[in-house]
Amino acid sequence: NMTRDMGWRLHIVGRRIERLDNLAVRLATFLRIHVDTAEPLNRELATEALLELCDSIITYRTRYRAQPALLPAMHLLCLDHTNPHALGFQVRMISNYLSHVDDHGAALNLAPLRDAYHNLRDFPWVALESHVGDDTRNAACLSLADCLDDLARAGRGVSDLLAMRFFTYTGRAAHATFTA
């Protein structure tokens, strides 16, 4: 029921930043655990559980019509701009809403967020293919986890910029005491 003003936009941006941070950290953790899991059946079940956790299992099954596999699952959760539970969607929405906030003042520096997302987008995704050797795939998983950590940090950086710009109080707050 909020009016669609700057306060509402900042509220939505805050929610998107939280989702971006949560999802990026969750995916990075999953990839690091995935490297330590030796059995393919456990990996498949873990990938399906990740998709369930990210509320994207129905989207995955609709698009791929196959058992969950690492490459398509990670691609869906990282880069899909149409999946509201994907990192790509969160980055797009953050940029979109902040472009409207910038109409009211100096531009925010979103370059670190965009750069981190471009690094994720430019990641060599084929290294996660099932036919690639285990050593190559494990190294790719760890590298992708690092990219996801960078994206989460960049999202937190945007949060810090917003806090400094819109929520910094310079004066001493007055304290009122009410007694009955």
Distance of CA 154 to the CA centre of its chain: 10
In angstroms, the CA 172 to CA 128 distance is 54
The continuous run of DSSP H or E covering 59 comes out as helix 57-64
> How confident is the model over 74-89, as pLDDT tens digits?
999 999 999 999 999 9
For tokens 């760890």, the residue is 142
pLDDT tier, 130 (very low <50, low <70, confident <90, very high otherwise): confident
> How confident is the model over 26-41, as pLDDT tens digits?
999 999 998 887 676 6
In angstroms, the CA 79 to CA 66 distance is 19
- Residue 86 phi/psi, 5° resolution? -115, 155
| Predicted pLDDT at 105 | 47
* pLDDT(24) > 60: yes
Token output for 9:
């936009």
Q: Write down the pTM of the prediction.
A: 0.85
Concatenating the DSSP letter of every residue in 86-147 gives SHHHHHHHHHHHHHHHGGGSSPP--HHHHHHHHHHHTS-GGGG-TTS-HHHHHHHHHHHHHH
pLDDT tier, 131 (very low <50, low <70, confident <90, very high otherwise): confident
> How confident is the model over 133-179, as pLDDT tens digits?
888 989 999 999 999 999 999 999 999 988 888 876 666 655 655 56
